[in-house]
Amino acid sequence: MSITRGPEPQLKTHSENPVTLQVPFGFRGFVLALGLWLLMPLAALAQAVAETAEPADNSVVLELEKAVAIVLDNSPELAGLHAQAEAMRTVPSQAGALPDPMLSLNAMNLPVDSFDLDQEPMTQMQLAISQRFPFPGKRRLKREAMEHRVEASDSMLSERRTAIVGEVRATWWRLMNFDRALQIVEQNKDLMRNFVDIALTKYKVGNGLQQDVLLAQLELSRLLDRELRLQGMRRGAQAELNALMDRPANWAVTLPAVPPNTVLPELPPESQLLQQAGSGRALIDVQQDLVEAARKNLDLAEKDRYPDLKLGVGYGFRQGFDSLRGTDRSDFLTVMLSINVPIFSGSKQSKAVEQRSHEVSRQKFILNDTLRKVEAAVSASLADYDAARDQVVLLETAIIPQAQQTVSSMLAAYQVNEVDFLNVINIQITLYNAQINYWESLSTAKQALARLASAIGTEALYE
C-alpha cells in the first residue's frame, strides 16, 4: 500500500498594505548587542555541560576485560570494604595501648566553717596523677585478637573482589548469549520471509497449498514473539551489568560481534580443584581468622580472673605557719597503689570465660560449614561446566552441521514438490534452535567457569 501526499498547504501572506514597524538603527543595534550579551553565558554553560557529560555507550564496544576493569575501579561495595579494612588497621594499636592516665586536682581537709586554707594543718591542695596497668598479657591478647580481625577484613575484601569479578564475567556472557540469540532470530526472520514468498509463489501458480503460506507466516510470528522475550531478558542482563559498573541501569551496552574466547579448556580433576579452593579461597581465611580471634578473646577472659594494678602519685600544697617547728608548713607527697579484687568471679569472670568458649565453638562450626559450602560450590560449578561443555561439543560437531545439510537438501526437494512444506519448516526450526542452544550452552559453560573461579578463590580460571 502506498500513501500519496497531497500538495503542501500554502500559507497565505497578505502583501497588500503591509504594516512596517520603523525601528531606529541605533535601538536595533542596542537590542542585538544586549541579546548576544545575555546568550553568551548560556552558550558557555551548554558547552561546559557538553564537555563534562558522560558519553553514550551506544558506540563503545564493551570488551570483557574492560568491563572487569570498570567494575574494579567503580564498585561502591569494594570501595566501602576497602575503607572498612583501612579503618580496621587502626584498631590493634588502640586495643593494645595503656588506658589513659588520670590527672586530678583535689582540695583535701578543707574546713567548711571558714574555707580557710591555712586554718587546719591537714588542709592542702593536691595535684595527683594515676595510671592503671592491666595484668601482664592482657594488652597483648587484645592486640592479637584485633590483628586477626584486621586480617579477616582484608580477606573479606579479597573475597568480595573475586566474587564481583565472577558476577561480571557471568553477566557479560549472559548478555553475549542474548546478543547472539537475537542475531540468529533476525537471520531466521529473513529466511522465514523467504519461505513465505516461496510458499505464496507456489500457491499462486497452483503448485502449493494455502496452509503452507499460513504455516510459514505462523512461524514468522513465533520468531517475532521469541525476539521480544529475548530483548526483555537482554535489558535485564544489561541493567545488572550496569549496576555492577555503577552506571545508570538504562545505559546501552554494546558487546563485540565476536566473543573474545570461545575455548572451553579441559579442567583438572575435582580433587585438585578442591585442594586449590581449600588453600586459596579468601572466605576460608576469613573464618579461620575469626576462629583465632575468638581464641584470643577466650584467653583474655581467662586473664580477667587476675587483678589489674593502679599506681598513683599526688603532691599536696599546704599553707600557713607551723608554730611547733617555727617554719612554714611542709607539703605532702602521696603514693597510691591499688588493685581490683575479683570477688564476684563466679557470676562475672567465670561466665565471661564460658561465653568466650561458646563463641570459639560457634566460629569453628561456621568454619566447618564454610568448608562444606565451598566444596559444594566447586563440585556444582564443575558439574555445570562439564555438562555445558559436552553439549557445546555435540552441537558444534554433530547437530548443527547435520541440520544445515538437511535444511539445504529438503529446501531443494521442496521446490520440486518432493518434500512436504511442514518438514522444511520443522528442520529449519531445528537448525535455528540448535544454533541458539549452542550459544546458550557456551554462555552457560563460561558462566560456570566464572563461578568455579570464584569458588576456588581466583578471578579467572584457565582463560
pLDDT at 417 over 90: no
Cα dihedral 37, 39, 41, 42, rounded to 10, equals 170
**Which cell numbers hold the place of 365?**
562450626
pLDDT at 271 over 90: yes
Give how far the C-alpha of residue 347 lies from the chain's centroid of Cα atoms, to the nearest Å.
45
Q: Give the pLDDT of residue 55.
A: 43
pLDDT, averaged across the chain: 85
Contact 369, 329 (CB under 8 A): no
| 59 confidence band (pLDDT: 50, 70, 90) | low
pLDDT at 6 over 70: no
User: What average pLDDT does range 76-92 have in this prediction?
Assistant: 94
In this structure, of 205-209, 258-262, 434-438, the range with the lowest mean pLDDT score is 205-209
Contact 334, 109 (CB under 8 A): no
pLDDT at 267 over 60: yes
For 151-186, how does the pLDDT look when each residue is reduced to its tens digit (9 = 90+)? 999 999 999 999 999 999 999 999 999 999 999 999
**Which cell numbers hold the place of 139?**
594488652
pLDDT at 336 over 60: yes
Distance CA 198, CA 185 (A): 20
pLDDT at 53 over 60: no
**Phi and psi dihedrals of 285, rounded to 5?**
-60, -40
**Which cell numbers hold the place of 377?**
560450590
Contact 427, 409 (CB under 8 A): no
Q: What is the DSSP annotation of 68-102? A: HHHHHHH-HHHHHHHHHHHHHTTHHHHHTSPPPPE
CB atoms within 10 A of CB 291: 20
| Residue pointed to by grid coordinates 583535701 | 108
Contact 252, 58 (CB under 8 A): yes
| 87 confidence band (pLDDT: 50, 70, 90) | very high
